[in-house]
A and B are shown apart, each in its own frame.
Chain A
């Protein structure tokens, strides 16, 4: 039966005419072509990079110009969140690999797990904020805390955006509507998520080295 999970494992759906997997999206005239979507993603990542470059520059300058910077050591929960985020990226990659070999159930499981871990990251970040609040460290307490809240908030906004994309793909997959035309959505969401993951690693390094 078309759309059935078991039959999809045994016999993956035929690739669309005129293109391989991921060649869709533009075939029926709806949505952008795969190439354009990838270009759009890269361009978006360039803009995000510039925004965080500006924040980083402000960070470095602010730290250097005054003697009121009090170092803010990273709380343990932040490390847990980092592991969670790395884990979610890994799971998304496993999902994509499953999809390439036609294992729909595998894809559904890994992708959902990755999305859930992504949401857990956000929860963990909120817990980190609450912990700082309990210690009396707020946005204006010290420039180091200002930047911690600012950078985690800006990063968190991008996580929220990425999560929306992951959730969209997840819903489509679980409803068995993830046809070849939506492969681009899978790849674009996953790549964006990996970027946001890498961005977090950069921010961790910034906090560790300069914070």
Chain B
């Protein structure tokens, strides 16, 4: 093969071109990461307000009245305000944190580098996708500031509540802004998905066959496909909802609906149609949230056990299966909607089927660790934490996947515990793991390990303390989305559990300050990072920390090895990088 062609590629000049309207996938990745970081602060604040209200529903808090004169008159949070905080908490966390950082944040930064490319396939589209996401976030947050405030229909926005503007405060302009924001977000996601898929298919360097891709790339690839197909359906659903709200159509609104003593002029629609369309998107969405974390975990477990990922091929097939099956199980969110038991059985069987590739991945992670030389870095701790939380969160899903059991668990805290464990914690741990692992590469400095370990241990214990009791609460019959249950005898008894969870939430939230300190302090004052601080094998560790603007300095890497050649028998070191010569396992003897 002839010498690699060096593309004419000029470094951007000027602050705006370099750091604001940048075409560089690395800058865009960091922009997405900080968008997610900002969003998680909002989402976390909302959750703390919710947890406070659940144990002190009648509390008079002076600054509530300042912030929400109508919704918190006298400083007491009304149920409507609680529901709107809950809606925005879910929406911001699911969309602007879990769908952005793992995929668009780390994926944008590292996918091109890990496949040996200079940039994404469509850099301008990439830049557009970030700024469109930012516009979506601005529109979403603006819902707090309009007449009526933020919507209260939940992140799932079920009609008729969400389809009829007069059903409650926030359901007017607030809900419209919510739908518009989500529609804009759909567009941004689609742009990103096109980029990821085209980049991965067409821009791999020489020698980077599909079966030599790091598992992170496989997860980003499948996640992009899920996003592509899922967000298109959400966009369609959102358009129908907007029409119902403002054009008088009746896609989702049935006849005879009465709001505030007035019969509405709609007829013939079905709220179930929304549920089907939403959850057809909604289930792939949760796999979008978790798959990149799985890829990061595989990567880190291999690096810090000095062992290849156990069963690489099986891991790839598992990722593909999870993606494929993920499109076939949406009905398990609708077991209580009145569907035919036969449909329920079909969805249930498919839901259990998706447990198989998930279990394969879990066993393979354990297999990766087994007999390895484990390095307990902070990144590794978070990866191990991911495995633990994925198992805990995933196991409760198996119960929920049985229609007979979901009869009881639906709309209880059991569901809340399940999805928080798996999304709110496991996926977040994946992001923490990725942060600690890739920070040296992104910023050229090491994060502080002591701060990292303290942050890890307190967070790990804290999230188990917050979310494990929710399973108990669910079994005890505690409904979800209630702003106040102190007036029910059988629930009033559970208040001490809520108290415990709220205290745990305060503590866990507080310790995140340590992470922020670590992150920002280390960016400027952390120990300078070498090119390959973890002695890892993938392509990002062959370039300087931080990387030059065109990643590989105009050269095109040639890949000769798989992604996880750790502890290869006979090799001089306990790792062989992907770009090492083909005979790196048995280098020819040199004579002096």
Interface residue ranges, A against B (CB under 8 Å): 18, 26, 28-29, 32-33, 35-37, 39-40, 43-44, 46-55, 57-58, 61-62, 65-66, 68-69, 139-140, 143, 146, 150, 154
Contacts and interface: CB of A to CB of B under 8 A. Distances in A.
Nearest to A67: B268
A67 B344 CA distance: 27
B243 A35 contact: no
A68 to B, nearest CB: 4
Contacts of A65: 268, 270, 273
B202 A39 contact: yes
A43 B194 CA distance: 6
B553 interface: no
Contacts of B11: none
10 contacts: A40-B197, A43-B193, A43-B197, A43-B198, A50-B228, A54-B237, A54-B277, A55-B240, A58-B240, A68-B268
B274 to A, nearest CB: 9
Given A58-B240, A61-B273, A62-B268, 14 more contacts: A28-B7, A32-B121, A39-B198, A39-B201, A57-B276, A62-B273, A65-B270, A139-B248, A139-B249, A140-B247, A146-B243, A146-B247, A146-B249, A146-B251
A146 B229 CA distance: 24
B231 to A, nearest CB: 8
A141 to B, nearest CB: 9
B248 A140 contact: yes
A62 B236 CA distance: 14
Contact of A40 (B5, B121, B251): B121
Contacts of B249: 139-140, 143, 146
B202 A54 contact: no
A36 B236 contact: no
A46 B202 contact: no
Given A39-B197, A43-B197, A58-B277, A139 B251 contact: no
B239 interface: yes
A48 to B, nearest CB: 7
Contacts of A143: 249-251, 268-269
Interface residues of B, number: 40
B573 interface: no
A173 to B, nearest CB: 22
Given A40-B121, A58-B251, A50 B233 contact: yes
A149 B233 CA distance: 18
Contacts of A26: 7
Given A50-B232, A66-B268, A40 B198 contact: yes
Given A47-B228, A51-B233, A140-B247, A28 B8 contact: yes
Contacts of B201: 36, 39
B267 A66 contact: yes
Interface string B218-261: 00000000001101110111011001000111110000000000
Contacts of B199: 36
Given A36-B202, A66-B267, A44 B239 contact: no
Nearest to A143: B268
B41 to A, nearest CB: 31
Given A43-B228, A62-B269, A139 B243 contact: yes
Nearest to A39: B198
A71 to B, nearest CB: 15
A109 to B, nearest CB: 31
A50 B284 CA distance: 14
- Find the residue from A35, A57, A58 having the highest chain B CB count within 10 A: A58
B121 A58 contact: no
Contacts of A33: 121, 202-203
A19 to B, nearest CB: 11
B122 A32 contact: yes
Given A29-B8, A32-B198, A62-B273, A54 B236 contact: yes
A148 B8 CA distance: 50
A165 B235 CA distance: 23
A44 B270 contact: no
A36 B251 contact: no
A54 B5 CA distance: 44
Nearest to A139: B247
Contacts of B9: 29
Interface in B269-315: 269-270, 273, 276-277, 280
B239 A150 contact: yes
Contacts of A53: 233
